Amino acid sequence: MSAEILPHVKIRMSKSNEDKRSLRPAAVRKTRSSRSAESPDSGLGQYGKQRKKQSDSALAQDLRQMSVSGPGDPTSSEEKQLGQHQNSPPVAKSAGGLASVVRLMKLGRCKNVVVVTGAGISTASGIPDFRSPGTGLYANLEAYDVPYPEAIFNVDYFSNDPQPFFSLAKVLYPGSHRPNYIHYFIRMLHHKGLLLRVYTQNIDGLEKLCGIPDDKLVEAHGSFVTASCHLCYTPYPAEEAKRAIMNGDIPSCTFCAATVKPDVVFFGEDLPQKYFLHTKDFPKADLLIIMGTSLQIEPFASLVNTVRSKVPRLLLNRHAVGPFQRVPLRRGDHVELGDLENTVRRFAEMLGWNDDIVELMKSLEQEQHIPTLVNGTSGTGGEDESDSETDSKCSASSCPSN
């Protein structure tokens, strides 16, 4: 969430000290780009150049004879409420769906599960996604005076004017939100010994907060945990950067005097080195679960196409996205559309995990002295949003974590 960088901006490297000082081979360099920012009317202007869209003709050949399950009859009022509009691509219906994936898991066929997530998994925690009309982050940036929504997360624009991002960062900094049921479902996959890795576009840190170990987590769009100079990459104390930003100041590099920012990945920046674990993880996966993402941010969005052709892929989302919009779809693909938290809860109940997840939520949050968030708020009841992402780098990426 590759792109050309203005001459005065150096290539962004991974966040480790060794990688910051040396160029990664061109063959494996990946920068974040947005499909929505590639259209001719995206208004990139002087701060960014048009990105070339990746061809998916090869993908089209793979997506044949696929069966997908929907939440019901495509003509029913229920499905219309789930976002199936008349101008949306049709979604194929099959008798399998979520039950088929549950059956495979209960039979022990899914021992290396890879989970791909976007901002939609965090909306139930009160964090807005990026692209939902009216409520998404990009729909509410008028106060930040940027020429187009993604500019606030564009490294070239930031180099010219960091203040809009720092104003928004005050809202994005982790600490005021709690993990929800969806995060703990992923944590339970680890607890059951089934989680190979979770790849998230979010920068809200909620995966770590719910207890997912660092070695099981790839924060593809970085995080607020560390900070560094955006030009020379010299590390900067993260707490000092946060304090400056919260006070309305602009932190400066002690080495080159350029602007310091949290190590969240902007459009036009390289993804962290840990992202490249995907070259081993996705070929090894025997189940891919995709949740709360619009699959709009590259190269993250293309990860879902790198599992083996016979590996089942399960999309849990408000809307069909990416390859799951095509009919017919690849055999072994399944779609469950609707409110994400409700869908994940139903998934857990079918697996017989719901009680375990609720107990895990209570025990871990008591240890951390955090009020339990079981149904979208403390205690029971409360607001329960979810979305298609969404992307994010931050949960508000996902950005620019999906």
| H helical segments located in 89-191 | 98-106, 155-160, 163-172, 181-191
Strands 260-264 and 217-219, sheet pairing: unpaired
Answer yes or no: are the C-beta atoms of 293 and 388 closer than 8 Å. yes
Active site residue 177: no
Strands 217-219 and 313-317, sheet pairing: unpaired
Catalytic residue among 221, 230, 278, 334: 221
Radius of gyration over every alpha carbon of the chain, rounded to an integer in angstroms: 20
Structural tokens at position 348: 């857990």
Rounded Cα distance between 236 and 221, Å, is 18
Is the torsion defined by CA of 249, 255, 258, 264 positive or negative? Answer: negative
Q: 378: which DSSP letter?
A: B
Which residues lie closer than 8 Å to 254 by C-beta, 6 or more apart?
234, 236
Burial class (CB in 10 A: 0-12, 13-18, 19+), 95: exposed
Rounded Cα distance between 123 and 386, Å, is 5
Residue 299: asked if its preceding bond is cis (omega within 30°), the reply is yes
- What letter represents residue 40's amino acid? P
Rounded Cα distance between 167 and 1, Å, is 21
| H helical segments located in 222-321 | 238-246, 278-284
**Residues with active-site annotation:** 221
